[in-house]
Structure 1
């Protein structure tokens, strides 16, 4: 496949997990990829691995919570490649805590990385994307469409990402720019490593997810590439849930399993 031949893609949080999987997939489909991440060494290593596999990629160190650095990342991308076709806002952090437990510092840290970064990047990228009728894909979460116990800041930030994406979609459709988001469920990434280490949590997810397993990063990357591609040319303002069916259920007990056990 070469859906992104001669296209330029910038991905934040691209040194590992979903971002790295998306970077590899974009490169395999012909794109020149800017692997942007707070971890400069990891970004460089991911880009090097893509080049070794025959793709085109460069690593770029950027703190997405820093407005100036985000703006410079967009500028550097356009200066190097002459254009920007796709922006993938993937960088994010989690935070455990109820409202009465969260410090102002922690609240602002989550908002800076998970929400402000999306605003900064989109604002800087939109003039360039409008020139090529480009696309934005932001990584939100099912935690942005329903609440989790003890994740107040993360829930609020991801909900805002989804609605900010809708606002950008309708405001810039006339310029030919599409904006969509994906909402992953439980994905095997470094960010979820603490969950993976707890067998109780793993078993609880296996019971709750209809497909019976967590997602791999490559499955989320496939959704990102679909929304960024011309295959999704009439899709904008959408939030694509990629959770193995987790949120398709009401949350009530699995009566089939209960009754089967009773019999």
Structure 2
């Protein structure tokens, strides 16, 4: 379905205070969207909001724990009231702690699935009525190449696999309403998560990055902008025939 000129292009980006989420928010603002950002602490979003304002695409920054259904719903209501009904959603908020299976607590399991898997469910459910009303929408779910397996992170891997199935089901259900849903699954990207991995191994990030680059066919690790280029396309009017897909933004084939 081709969007008409009346479609409101307001985006909601979760986990947008820093890193990949902030980069995506800035890119979408540069593409002409009004961008409302959600993160745990509203004040942490100050730099992102300043960049969005400079690009002319600022919408509210709202504090919300994405694993809290009521908080996510209230955040979307606030963004819609300030900037118009959202028709673009990018679910980026996520965590990836590491623990062996026998050491992993039930609390860690619940926390990871609550943020990484339930969060996108709550956000999509809050936003999709606006998309259905507009007969147009774009949903992008950030998953990970770890969905194919990652020793020491069964909670994270389980959530990422779930996100892929969730995305495909969204595409099937919402496609008749002019709404697409796709997942981006990055490999090694410079981020808070990969910096945390370096710390766990007792390495400087520079050394950790250098080691990774030795096995990467293209000779470098990913950068946040590698994600934003893909995101920009998937939320564009030109991506209307791309739905239910997992786009691996990776340095080579993902097994």
Q: Check the 8 A contact 1:6/1:30 in 2, yes or no.
A: no
Classify the secondary structure of the residue corresponding to 1:100.
helix
Shift of 1:246: 5.4
Shift of 1:122: 0.9
Shift of 1:99: 2.0
Moved more, 201-210 or 104-113: 201-210
Shift of 1:56: 2.6
Moved more, 187-196 or 170-179: 187-196
- Aligned partner of 1:70 in structure 2 is 72
Classify the secondary structure of the residue corresponding to 1:21.
helix
- Unmatched 5+ residue regions in structure 2? 1-6, 199-203
Match of 1:245 among 238, 252, 255: 252
**Cα distance in 2 between the residues matched to 1:58 and 1:48:** 11
Count of matched residue positions in the alignment of Structure 1 and Structure 2: 244
The TM-score normalised by the length of structure 2 is 0.90
Shift of 1:80: 1.6
**Cα distance in 1 between the residues matched to 2:194 and 2:173:** 34
- Aligned partner of 2:47 in structure 1 is 45
Point out the structure with max Rg over C-alpha.
1
Q: Check the 8 A contact 1:86/1:134 in 2, yes or no.
A: yes
**Cα distance in 2 between the residues matched to 1:152 and 1:183:** 17
Does structure 1 residue 163 correspond to structure 2 residue 165? yes
Does structure 1 residue 234 correspond to structure 2 residue 241? yes
Classify the secondary structure of the residue corresponding to 1:86.
strand
Shift of 1:195: 3.5
Q: Check the 8 A contact 2:168/2:245 in 1, yes or no.
A: yes
Report the aligned-residue RMSD.
1.8
Shift of 1:200: 5.4
**Cα distance in 1 between the residues matched to 2:55 and 2:178:** 33
- Aligned partner of 1:119 in structure 2 is 121
Classify the secondary structure of the residue corresponding to 2:36.
strand
- Aligned partner of 1:130 in structure 2 is 132
- Unmatched 5+ residue regions in structure 1? 251-263
User: C-alpha deviations, 1:179-236, integer Å up to 9, x for none?
Assistant: 1010001111122213352555334311222111111101101111111111211011
Q: Check the 8 A contact 1:48/1:58 in 2, yes or no.
A: no
Shift of 1:53: 4.2
- Aligned partner of 1:219 in structure 2 is 226
- Aligned partner of 1:207 in structure 2 is 214
Does structure 1 residue 143 correspond to structure 2 residue 125? no
Match of 2:12 among 7, 10, 13: 10
